[in-house]
Structure 1
């Protein structure tokens, strides 16, 4: 028996962030964020370090409670973690080193009480989707960094999430592997149909992957500064004139936020007059 990608999950889930603020003690991490994410959309959160991208993603996952506002998925308010919202972290340390690739991917279905036959079918389905059939019986320590990230993605997808949340998942990879993983992520997203919210500080990565790019202001009390729609054909080439023009706009936007943050710290003199980020 082969279990195909669940059609309800494949359509993704619409998500609404409405007036969200997140505070840690006296520190206001993000403030007044409102953003609607369409079912099946690939949204990138882009911004300078420390602007609250990962904090907002953690709230979407249900790990971090919001202080104000609401986050809803299909009109249901998020009040904690759920297998319908899968998280892919930057580090592959989340994998179980003592389990094989197949066992790692089948772990979620096993915890949900599915039969061994269903577990095996789902594991095979998603191991194939990420291109690791030949490595299904290897352990994480026997894989490259890029392959371990593929296992993480497959393990999340095996839970049939409606939303996949990704926190700089390729940030620790070398440049060549990162490029390969970006193209693979584009393919995996199109084949799975999940809604994806992807945190990055890499402008080119956002352009290659996103339907829309939400640029965040520098923290504290970070918010959404601008939203850009990426109307470029897939697969994308970052050296195309349209991609270069978008890159320049995003660079100026983020550069302005970096300079503002440095001014707040009295460090803006590191920038020459008129110098871009």
Structure 2
């Protein structure tokens, strides 16, 4: 049974830019006989930051791929501001875990300008957009370098800038900081909070890190163990920003999230025929 608590609608930023509202309605995703995601429904407010949590293999990335238009649902509907998602498009920006998505033979500026270039923007507009978003992620001084000359965290910031240069209304992020060291990851989390506020995008963010979800999200949706994964619970995060995960209210939320995910991990292990100590 889903334990859902509604979050307050997110406000648009002072820049006047606005993310799009996303509706996931009764989504089923199958790959042949394998039932990956079952009857998932979520309403994501314009400008909201939603984190998806859950056990490994529960379908978080699969659901994100469906939102991006890369995977067609077997049943149900996906809409962005009321328009059906029928495939990838510039309004839906995807940031992957690996920075290998960058073009190594292009400079940082050329990478970020690639989307505007494909849309037919003038050279001057391409450069202006690239510099604007490189400034947003703090990398304008690296515009003429190549990705191989940057650290892992810097490459991820270039990838975020490249997505934002398309001016998407929804940004989808699949564990974008998962491969980074702990210190760089902390910096990127702080930067992501700032970038989201300035850009005004709606963000759907997949992570395995409970503290990361608490730091970033307006709401956290926990998925059940797969196969046929669904939404187990949805929690609003009412903590003031910037956040401190050592606060008592954060600790209470962390406990509830760990409890929910732990239940699903134990269920998955039992389904695989493994006997747990508590069952003996």
Q: Which residue of 1 aligns with 2:5?
A: none
Contact between 1:13 and 1:162, CA under 8 Å: does it hold in 2?
A: yes
Q: Which residue of 1 aligns with 2:47?
A: 40
Mapped pair 1:13 → 2:17? no
Mapped pair 1:148 → 2:155? yes
Q: Which residue of 2 aligns with 1:210?
A: 217
Length, aligned pairs only: 267
Q: Which residue of 2 aligns with 1:238?
A: 245
Show structure 2 runs of 5+ residues with no match: 1-12
Q: Which residue of 1 aligns with 2:106?
A: 99
> Aligned in 2, Cα 1:35/1:98: closer, same or farther, shift over 3 Å?
same
Once the two structures are superposed, residues 136-160 of structure 1 have per-residue CA deviations (whole angstroms, 9 ceiling, x without a partner) of 1110000000000000000000000
SS in 2 for 1:201: coil
Separation in 2, partners of 1:268, 1:198: 33
Of 31, 50, 64, the match for 1:24: 31
Structure 2 counterparts to residues 149-164 of structure 1, below 5 A: 149-164=156-171
Contact between 1:203 and 1:250, CA under 8 Å: does it hold in 2?
A: yes
Structure 2 counterparts to residues 177-196 of structure 1, below 5 A: 177-196=184-203
Separation in 2, partners of 1:226, 1:266: 25
Separation in 1, partners of 2:255, 2:171: 28
Of 127, 139, 148, the match for 2:146: 139
Contact between 1:259 and 1:268, CA under 8 Å: does it hold in 2?
A: no
Provide TM-score, normalisation by structure 1.
Answer: 0.94
Separation in 1, partners of 2:69, 2:274: 36
Alpha-carbon shift at residue 268 of structure 1 (Å): 3.8
The Cα RMSD (Å) is: 1.4
Q: Which residue of 2 aligns with 1:55?
A: 62
SS in 2 for 1:273: helix
Of 170, 174, 183, the match for 2:177: 170
**Consecutive aligned runs of 4 or more in structure 1 exceeding 6 Å deviation:** none
Separation in 1, partners of 2:131, 2:77: 37
SS in 2 for 1:232: coil
Of 69, 74, 83, the match for 2:90: 83
Separation in 2, partners of 1:101, 1:133: 9
Separation in 1, partners of 2:106, 2:258: 42
Contact between 1:123 and 1:158, CA under 8 Å: does it hold in 2?
A: yes
Once the two structures are superposed, residues 50-99 of structure 1 have per-residue CA deviations (whole angstroms, 9 ceiling, x without a partner) of 00000000000000000000000111111100010000000000000011
Q: Which residue of 2 aligns with 1:273?
A: 278
Once the two structures are superposed, residues 182-206 of structure 1 have per-residue CA deviations (whole angstroms, 9 ceiling, x without a partner) of 0100000001000000001110000
Provide TM-score, normalisation by structure 2.
Answer: 0.93
Once the two structures are superposed, residues 20-72 of structure 1 have per-residue CA deviations (whole angstroms, 9 ceiling, x without a partner) of 00000000000000100000000000000000000000000000000000000
SS in 1 for 2:278: coil
Alpha-carbon shift at residue 101 of structure 1 (Å): 0.7
Show structure 1 runs of 5+ residues with no match: none
